A and B are shown apart, each in its own frame.
Chain A
Amino acid sequence: MSVSELSQPYVALVGSPNSGKTSLFNALTGGRQRVGNYPGVTVERKEGSIERPGGHRLKILDLPGTYTLDANTLDEAVTRDVLLTRKIEGAPPDLLVAVADATNLERSLSLVLELKDLGFPMVLVLNMMDLARNRGLEIDLEVLARELGIPVFPVVAVKKEGLDPLLEEMLRRVGERPRPLVQAFPESAWTLPRHGAEEVRARFREIDRILKLANAAHLKPARWTDRIDRAVLHPLWGSLLLVAILTFVFQSIFNWASYPMDLIERGIGLISEGLRALLPQGWLQNLLVDGVLAGVGSVVVFLPQILMIFFFILLLEDSGYMARAAFLMDRQMGRVGLHGRAFIPLLSSFACAIPGIMAARTIENPRDRLTTILISPLMACSARLPVYTLLISAFIPNRVVWGPFRLQGLVMLGLYALGLVTGLIVAWVFKKAVFRGPTPTFLLELPTYKWPSLRNVLIGMWERARLFLRRAGTVILAVSVVIWFLSSYPKPPADADPGRPAITYSLAGRIGHAIEPAIRPIGFDWSIGIGLLTGMAAREVIVGTLATVYSVEDGGAAVGEDALGRILQRRWSLATGLSLLVYFVFAMQCFSTLAVVRRETNSWKWPAVLFLYLTGLAYLASFLTYRLALYLGA
């Protein structure tokens, strides 16, 4: 960040998690937002700018949601530190915009009172005024402003109602004081206010007093929320509904996402054909087509699935259902020592571990969050699907087992279950052995239901897509180029056997041969060794590598894969096929995941732990599978 940016005046939005703060931020800034990370921590930093006619521009920072300045989570600590220290933004905000849910003043004013004690220039935004009116609340805004001692602005952020007066006030207040004056705040204002239980109690007494004066103490119950909750939180119907929703999400991720995924694959195919036609044959063409495009393409192809997962997550989050799902799942997750919220990252990981690991940010306890991150790669992500499909079709007979169940389908299901069950056991072990400590509190607000705002959901998806492409994309670009180099050089000598694939002469081929002694005990040969190396770009890349190694002519993917299956069936024993299947259930074959874990945990320690424990687990499981299969005569 440049110095000029630091000295630019800015407004900070502060509010509790369900206050509609993000809706307000979206409404104020439109698409003009930048999402990044706060330095040194993995908390999302959202900055936007407001442009007004007349050339006025205003920087606005959306601080992480918090119930109190007495931080319990990483997110909350960032909010506290931005306000109370200069080490994060370089300077305190010039104006605080506190956002409160008008239908939840009895609780949300607590943070407002706490913020007021800091002595910042401040305004209060009462969001969701329409819902408050519907519930019979006619707040006396003048009394409220007088008693709080700050201006109050009623708005409906999702409908963009009431924004103009707020914008004018923001511009006026930020414009009125030259920057250096702000930093001359009395030193006392920079210490954390006292947070003993007594202070909290006193704040709530003060809230009751103010709300009574402002005629805002009597809110009709949220009838619709109560009605919906009778079904959604019902022990039987609620559980069935949760299963139905999860099934639907799962189905759509796998069925609907396949169309855009095919399109992307075809698009990448077209581009590579174009490049081949345009560029002269040689190393540059190879680098661009076989290295960069193939590698990046193999990761970008997951973008539709990732967008779809985040579409559902944001939709469920925005409507208020997600907290209910965590409530329903808490007991089950608690059995292995996890938090109810952990099930969302784990669910996402079935499509791709990367959004799953990113979604683990919502778990407040660091030990729980780390445990969730460490087991996410065990959930069978969709990059494993092509590998499973190839090996199952090659080695598992498609016998009818019983009724509609065929052996191939059951094996596929078994592989998914194996990953899931192992993940839960590993979580339990981690919680028992490594991350010992008191069980973290499960204390969750169940917000009133709201119609999700499509605009908020779309903005959220756009942010996630950018993050994914930037994080996975940049790493995978580098890894793809390295792997391309390893598998292309050195070239075969002039007198090489024309029947022998060029890749076997390359460094990758040599590495494959070199590690063969190490993987021989689990039934792998050098060709799999090469595949394990290239598969670090993305798991399904091993399919293409095996095709190259066994010189399958590239005549359309479907034909090629069938042919590859037949070749593998001839070349490998059943025991090797099964061993490789099991290996892919466990092995950490994805460099992008490691890179994201590094970003999320801010150290190389956890990606290293992840890689070692999963590779160890994979080796052990494959060894047992291989030996057992050999023993049984496979």
Chain B
Amino acid sequence: MTGRETLPDQPLPLGQMRKGQGGYICRIEGPDATVRRLLEMGMVEEAYVEIVHEAPFGGDPVAVRVRGGLLALRRQEASCVTVRKA
């Protein structure tokens, strides 16, 4: 499943996306410290991000590909990142 087709047109929090879905980051909001840490790890606006793995037992945390690297994070933090289709 590529999943990209299934992504709705409206922006969606990364934390609500399934394995194989991805898009361009349009917003990062949340507690200051979390936002900064996300940014430092390369989660910046306009970067392409895609969920490539989900952990066993409930699919949380997830592993995402962003800026050429692989990052593991919990869905709660991932929900600070809003992603749009194109």
List A residues at the B interface (Cβ < 8 Å).
67-68, 70, 72, 103-104, 106-107, 110, 195, 197, 200-201, 204, 219, 225, 229, 233, 235-236, 238-239, 323, 326-328, 330-332, 334, 340, 438-439, 441-447
Contact = CB atoms under 8 A, between A and B. Distances in A.
A204 B67 CA distance: 10
Interface string B44-71: 1101000011111111110100011111
B44 A200 contact: yes
B7 interface: no
A424 to B, nearest CB: 16
A229 B55 CA distance: 12
B68 A107 contact: yes
What 8 A-B pairs are tightest by C-beta distance, nearest first? A235-B56, A446-B70, A106-B67, A200-B39, A233-B53, A107-B42, A327-B72, A444-B72
Nearest to A334: B74
A331 B58 contact: yes
B74 A330 contact: yes
20 contacts: A70-B36, A70-B40, A104-B69, A106-B68, A107-B68, A197-B39, A200-B39, A229-B70, A233-B55, A233-B63, A236-B56, A327-B61, A328-B55, A331-B55, A331-B56, A331-B58, A441-B37, A443-B73, A445-B69, A446-B63
A117 to B, nearest CB: 15
Given A197-B36, A328-B55, A331-B57, 13 more contacts: A70-B40, A107-B67, A107-B69, A200-B39, A225-B70, A229-B63, A236-B56, A331-B60, A441-B77, A442-B72, A443-B38, A444-B71, A444-B72
Contact of B72 (A70, A200, A204, A443): A443
B80 to A, nearest CB: 10
Contacts of A67: 40-41
Contact of B36 (A200, A323, A340): A200
Most buried by B among A70, A233, A239: A233
Main secondary structure of the interface of A (DSSP, over half): helix
Main secondary structure of the interface of B (DSSP, over half): mixed
Most buried by B among A72, A225, A443, A445: A443
B34 A441 contact: yes
A340 B54 CA distance: 14
Contact of A330 (B36, B45, B47, B61): B61
Contact of A197 (B35, B41, B42, B68): B35
Interface of B: 28, 31-42, 44-45, 47, 52-61, 63, 67-74, 76-77
B26 to A, nearest CB: 13
Contacts of B73: 441-444
A605 to B, nearest CB: 27
A327 B57 CA distance: 12
Contacts of A323: 72
Contacts of A107: 41-42, 67-69
Contact of A446 (B38, B59, B71): B71
B77 A442 contact: yes
A72 B45 CA distance: 22
Contacts of A103: 68
A72 B37 contact: yes
Contacts of B39: 197, 200-201, 204
